[in-house]
């Protein structure tokens, strides 16, 4: 039959639709349906799939291939959600690109990044929600009292001017803004956003974890009072998320402040994308489509001619390298606002620390003295340790028993507050046994130390001159579980009601503490010798970030200090830290990476498999390796042997992984596209129940190895 004839005279026409169907992840193509009326590409629809009705998006212009065989009768689409304007062509392009790059189904990705309620509400309900959005944003916009902007420093002015020039000369280009902590980067984001708004465009500001830095959100809300600003992150209720998403999609919201998922916000007038702390690993999604919001920001900027600013005091080496190669513009803010010095870094050689009962004291005497000095002067200190709980493991000295998790290859952590042993991987929690479960010894003891124990130790060591105990606050995932707890604790720190803040890396990020003059890292060495090649980069960023919490008030900056207790004081990483020399650190890391052929000199993907036995997971990976032979670009990729993941067993599931490497990103992409269908096939053909795997996934540009 001639297709042209069918579409004349109101006959149902054929539409291509991408559908939400993770179980058909191999279905990356569109499906064909019929529709009585013309539907614009980007329209949300419900369509029958088998016996179910699923959500989909009309994808006509992007259909890769006609999906229906001639002679197959097409089914009509169900409801079309025409209460909303269709998703834009640029949005669909972004999704297509991301789905292809990260090897997921287009429909699966598209529907997973939209607010969940869009998949549940009817067209009539959406119309109602839309009306509420209009009311909500006009109420927000009429709020008055917009905060005034400070006068820019000379360096900030230059940065903003350059950004504007670059935007004119090369719309959609990406700029790395490398600025030391406290150099006024956030102020640059605020003013760049104000400029975008003044031009009638929308701004998207991505931050690593909004809930950890309520202060930052408050700063934006205050500055843009009178403008329409919405947040997008996973902490919102479904109704709030839909409302805020709609405000952006309808073009009502001028500014979207969000976490990684906000990179997919539909914004018809997008003019600026800021990625704050661009090196932060939380920009990489760790399940489903494992996308990097930072990398997609760069792509999206080009697509929509929106200026992209990647900001950090410690950029990722990938970004640093691209800036050096001229693929990104580079601007810098090398000094703190107000001219305050960065804290002096002091390394404490723990090899020389005094020992008590054969064990090294947890806090070197010099450090305790420095902390007490701060107390005497009424200044605050911050002490961090990346391990929560009281002690990472309980131990019986008689028989050697340790508090392992029966379901995971990990220890259960001792939490003294509620006297539990908790597995941080599977969640198993039990009361601490009275005696050793193996030999009955009553004397089981904690080994090592977490933030709870550190808090306890500091409480015994630190005193005001008049004998009053120091006021210590602990901030970690345990102390902030209750809603509002983190805000309250941070509020107490800002108000000066706390002398010493103890916590995990949660407290090292982003906070603009004004009274802290001493920051101490108690035990950061572990990452120096990790098998993950990115561990040093992460440690350096963490320590620089942490140092950045001290001396933020220029009047106190001169005597601010960063203390690091280490067994390896001569390590080059610490030597670069002493000089606050990110460039030197980056150069040495990049040289090592180049010699070892690691990113950014090569491109990686990780194939992970989970099964009831390590053998089954390994068999899947080995089968996958066999099927790689002869595929497109297979000669340009290297497959490494399967190895267990860092915590191999979690909740009785065994996890193995296989690294895929290529010097060429394009070759890696071609190879993966050819390989993935073979992997779906391999999974289906597993012979016996024993050899079956539970899950597998490919992670492109994996962050943890
Ligand atoms: P960063 O994001 O680089 O850590 P911020 O933008 O938070 O730096 O600036 C550090 C501190 O300096 C903040 O308290 C901020 O309010 C203040 N600040 C930033 N720019 C200026 C300026 N031009 N004039 C006065 N204060 C400023
Ligand atoms: Zn025992
Ligand atoms: Zn466990």
Q: Which ligand is nearest to the CA of 426?
A: 3
SS3 assignment, position 219: helix
Which of 671, 659, 665 is CA-nearest to residue 702? 659
Residue from 149, 154, 182 to probe ligand 1 pocket by mutation (most atoms less than 8 Å from CB): 182
Tens of pLDDT, residues 225-257: 888 899 999 889 999 999 999 999 999 999 999
What's the pLDDT at 552? 87
**Which residue of 194, 337, 339, 552 sits with most ligand 1 atoms within 8 Å of its CB, as the best mutation to test the pocket?**
337
Helices (H), 476-613: 485-495, 535-547, 554-557, 572-578, 582-596
Judge if the beta carbon of residue 96 lies within 6 A of ligand 1.
Answer: no
- Interatomic CA distance for residues 625 and 642, integer angstroms: 9
191 C-alpha to ligand 1 centroid (Å):
12
Rounded mean pLDDT of 531-544? 94
| Residue of the CA atom closest to atom 5 of ligand 1 | 184
* Predicted pLDDT at 530: 86
Nearest to 115 by CA among 63, 216, 44, 204: 44
Distance 54 CA to ligand 2 centre (A): 56
The number of the ligand nearest the C-alpha atom of 653 reads 3
DSSP-assigned beta bridge partners for residue 54: 47
Query: Residue 144: which pLDDT band, with cuts at 50, 70 and 90?
Result: low
What is the C-alpha radius of gyration for the chain, rounded to an integer number of angstroms? Answer: 28
* 510 close to ligand 1 (CB < 6 Angstrom): no
314 C-beta closer than 6 A to ligand 1: no
> Considering only CA atoms, which of 614, 668, 655, 660 is closest in space to residue 641?
660
Tokens at 452, concatenated: 């709870």
Q: Which residue has the higher pLDDT, 293 or 509?
A: 293
Predicted confidence band of residue 139 (pLDDT cuts 50, 70, 90): low
Pocket of ligand 1 contains residue 184 by CB under 6 Å: yes
If you measure from the C-alpha of residue 408 to the centroid of ligand 3, how many angstroms do you get, rounded to a whole number?
4
Is the shortest distance between the CB of 514 and ligand 1 below 6 Å? no
Q: Tokens for 475?
A: 């901030």
- Residue 292's beta-bridge partner residues? 284
Whether ligand 1 lies within 6 angstroms of the CB of 183 is answered as yes
Residue nearest to atom 24 of ligand 1 (CA): 150
User: How confident is the model at residue 509, as a pLDDT?
Assistant: 84
Distance from Cα 395 to the centre of ligand 3, integer Å: 17
Edge-to-edge strand ranges of the sheet holding 44-49 = 31-35, 13-19, 52-58, 44-49
List of E strands, 452-567: 472-475, 500-503, 516-521, 561-566
For residue 520, the cross-strand partners are: 383, 563
150 pocket-lining for ligand 1 (C-beta < 6 Å): yes
Helix count (H) and strand count (E) of the chain?
19, 29
Give the ligand at the shortest distance from the Cα of 401.
2
Q: How far is the CA of 552 from the centre of ligand 1 (A)?
A: 9
pLDDT at 6: 40
Residue 136 in this model has a pLDDT that exceeds 90: no
Please state whether beta strands 500-503 and 380-384 pair in parallel, antiparallel, or not at all (unpaired).
parallel
Ligand 1 atom showing the smallest separation from residue 183 Cα? 3
* Residue nearest ligand 1's atom 4 by CA: 182
Rounded Cα gap, residues 158 and 335, in angstroms:
13
User: Nearest 5°: CA angle at 331, between 534 and 573?
Assistant: 30
Residue 410 Cα, ligand 3 centroid: separation in angstroms?
Answer: 7
Best residue among 512, 514, 552 to mutate for probing ligand 1, ranked by most atoms within 8 Å of CB? 512
pLDDT of residue 364: 93
Q: Is 636 a pocket residue for ligand 1 (Cβ < 6 Å)?
A: no
Which ligand is located closest to the Cα atom of residue 313?
1
435 CA from centroid of ligand 2 (Å) = 8
pLDDT, tens digit, 9 for 90 and up, residues 390-415 = 999 999 999 999 999 999 999 999 99
CA distance 312 to 300: 20
Q: How far apart are CA 352 and CA 686, in angstroms?
A: 58
Q: Is the distance from the beta carbon of residue 337 to the nearest atom of ligand 1 less than 6 Å?
A: yes
What's the whole-number average pLDDT of the chain? Answer: 90
Provide the token pair at 122: 């009817």
- Asked whether 642 lines ligand 1 (CB < 6 A), one says no
Where does the pLDDT of residue 360 fall: very low under 50, low under 70, confident under 90, or very high at 90 and above? low
Q: What is the DSSP letter of 340?
A: P
- Average pLDDT of span 475-504: 93
Per-residue pLDDT reduced to its tens digit, 106-123 = 999 999 999 999 999 999
86 within ligand 1 shell (Cβ under 6 A): no
Question: What pTM value is reported for the model?
Answer: 0.92
- Taking the CA of 276 as reference, the closest ligand is 1
CA 494 to chain centre: 26
Beta strand ranges found along 340-443 (DSSP E): 344-349, 355-356, 359-360, 380-384, 393-396, 413-415, 420-422, 429-431
> In the 8-state DSSP scheme, what is residue 150?
P
Q: What's the 405 CA to ligand 3 centre distance in angstroms?
A: 5
Residue 187 Cα, ligand 1 centroid: separation in angstroms? Answer: 6
- Report the 10 Å Cβ neighbour count for 215: 16
In whole angstroms, give the CA distance from residue 348 to residue 562.
Answer: 11
- Would you state the structure tokens that stand for residue 522, as one six-digit string? 């108690």
For residue 575, the CA-to-ligand 1 centroid distance in Å is: 28
* Distance separating alpha carbons of residues 65 and 16, to the nearest angstrom: 10
| Substitution site in 182, 184, 514, 547 for ligand 1 pocket (most atoms within 8 Å of beta carbon) | 184
Q: What is the pLDDT of residue 1?
A: 38
Quote the pLDDT of residue 683.
Answer: 85
| Cα 610 to middle of ligand 3, angstroms | 16
More confident residue, 410 or 140: 410
Per-residue pLDDT for 3 more than 70? no
The rounded distance, in Å, linking the Cα atoms of 703 and 690 is: 31
């Amino acid at each position: 039959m001639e297709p042209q004839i069918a579409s004349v005279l109101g006959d149902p026409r054929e539409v291509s639709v991408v559908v939400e169907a993770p179980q058909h992840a191999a279905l990356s193509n569109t499906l064909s349906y019929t529709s009585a009326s013309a539907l614009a590409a980007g329209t949300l629809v419900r369509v029958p799939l088998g016996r179910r009705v699923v959500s989909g998006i009309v994808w006509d212009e992007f259909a890769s291939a006609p999906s229906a065989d001639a002679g197959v009768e097409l089914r009509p689409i169900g409801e079309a959600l025409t209460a909303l304007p269709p998703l834009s062509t640029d949005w669909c392009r972004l999704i297509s690109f991301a789905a292809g790059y990260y090897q997921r189904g287009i429909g699966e990705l598209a529907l997973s990044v939209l607010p969940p309620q869009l998949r549940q509400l009817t067209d009539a309900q959406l119309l109602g929600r839309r009306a509420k959005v209009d009311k909500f944003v006009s109420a927000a916009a009429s709020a008055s009292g917009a905060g005034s902007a400070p006068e820019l420093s000379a360096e900030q002015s230059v940065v903003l001017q350059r950004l504007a020039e670059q935007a004119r000369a090369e719309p959609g280009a990406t700029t790395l803004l490398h600025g030391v902590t406290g150099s006024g980067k956030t102020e640059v984001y605020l003013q760049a956003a104000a400029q975008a708004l003044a031009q009638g465009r929308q701004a998207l500001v991505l931050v690593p974890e909004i809930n950890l830095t309520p202060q930052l959100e408050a700063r934006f809300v205050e500055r843009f009072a009178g403008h329409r600003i919405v947040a997008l992150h996973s902490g919102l209720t479904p109704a709030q998320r839909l409302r805020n998403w709609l405000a952006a999609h309808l073009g009502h919201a001028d500014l979207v402040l969000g976490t990684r998922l906000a990179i997919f916000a539909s914004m018809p007038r997008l003019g600026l994308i800021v990625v704050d702390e661009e090196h932060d690993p939380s920009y990489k999604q760790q399940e489903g489509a494992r996308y990097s919001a930072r990398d997609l920001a760069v792509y999206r900027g080009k697509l929509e001619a929106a200026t992209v600013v990647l900001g950090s005091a410690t950029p990722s080496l990938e970004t640093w390298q691209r800036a050096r190669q001229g693929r990104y513009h580079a601007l810098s803010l090398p000094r703190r606002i107000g001219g305050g010095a960065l804290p002096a870094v002091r390394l404490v050689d723990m090899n020389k620390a005094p020992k008590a009962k054969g064990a090294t004291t947890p806090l070197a005497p010099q450090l305790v003295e420095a902390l007490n000095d701060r107390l005497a002067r009424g200044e605050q200190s911050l002490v961090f340790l990346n391990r929560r709980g009281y002690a990472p493991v309980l131990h019986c000295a008689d028989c050697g028993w340790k508090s392992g998790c029966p379901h995971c290859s990990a220890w259960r952590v001792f939490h003294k507050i509620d006297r539990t042993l908790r597995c941080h991987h599977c969640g198993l929690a039990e009361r601490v046994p009275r005696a050793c479960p193996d030999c009955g010894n009553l004397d089981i003891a904690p080994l090592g130390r977490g933030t709870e124990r550190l808090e306890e130790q500091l409480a015994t060591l630190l005193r005001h001159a008049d004998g009053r105990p120091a006021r210590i606050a602990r901030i970690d995932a345990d102390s902030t579980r209750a809603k509002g707890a983190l805000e309250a604790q941070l509020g107490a720190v800002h108000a000066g009601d706390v002398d010493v803040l103890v916590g995990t890396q949660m407290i090292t990020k982003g906070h603009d503490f004004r009274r802290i003059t001493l920051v101490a890292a108690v035990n950061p060495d572990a990452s120096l010798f990790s098998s993950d090649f990115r561990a040093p980069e992460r440690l350096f960023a963490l320590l620089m970030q942490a140092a950045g919490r001290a001396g933020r008030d220029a009047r106190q900056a001169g005597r601010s200090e960063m203390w690091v207790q280490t067994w390896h004081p001569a390590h080059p990483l610490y030597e670069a830290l002493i000089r606050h020399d990110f460039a030197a650190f980056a150069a040495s890391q990049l040289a090592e990476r180049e010699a070892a052929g690691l990113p950014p000199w090569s491109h990686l993907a990780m194939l992970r498999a989970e099964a009831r036995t390590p053998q089954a997971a390994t068999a899947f990976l080995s089968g996958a390796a066999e099927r790689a032979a002869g595929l497109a670009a297979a000669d340009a990729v290297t497959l490494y042997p399967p190895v267990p993941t860092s915590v191999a067993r979690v909740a009785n599931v065994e996890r193995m992984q296989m690294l895929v490497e290529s010097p060429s990103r394009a070759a890696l992409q071609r190879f993966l596209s050819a390989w993935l269908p073979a992997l779906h096939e391999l999974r289906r053909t597993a012979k016996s129940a024993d050899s079956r795997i539970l899950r597998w996934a490919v992670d492109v540009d994996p962050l943890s190895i």
